[in-house]
Amino acid sequence: SQRADGEWMLTKATEPVRTRNPKESSPDELKALAAQSPGAHTFRLMDATAANTHPPAHHKVVAKGFLIRQPGDDRINTSDLQSIAPSCSDR
């Protein structure tokens, strides 16, 4: 979702996992990720509009990029962002 200050946030995110391909996801990978339940993490999406024209608000998405962990400000510098379901609660 987009905050009032224009920053994009990834909410209800699962624990991040390392990938060998920070760009596109395979169809099998997308199918497996779409089946996962929402998580409890929140990440600020850096360069979200550069990775994909506009992130779909309130969609279940796959965000790939470089993880930056800082107390109270975990971020993903996005290299790819894809919608995998029209609702965050979809499994």
Is the backbone of residue 81 left (phi > 0), alpha (psi -120 to 50) or beta?
beta
Output the pLDDT for position 16. Answer: 93
Output the pLDDT for position 91. Answer: 46
Q: From CA 28, how far away is CA 83, in angstroms rounded?
A: 15
Output the pLDDT for position 71. Answer: 93
Output the pLDDT for position 53. Answer: 46
> Could you tell me the CA-to-CA distances from 89 to 31, 39, 74 in Å, in that order?
15, 10, 22
Output the pLDDT for position 89. Answer: 59
Mean pLDDT by 10 residues, the chain (91 residues): 87 90 84 90 81 62 91 91 72 46
> Cα dihedral sign for 46, 13, 83, 30?
positive
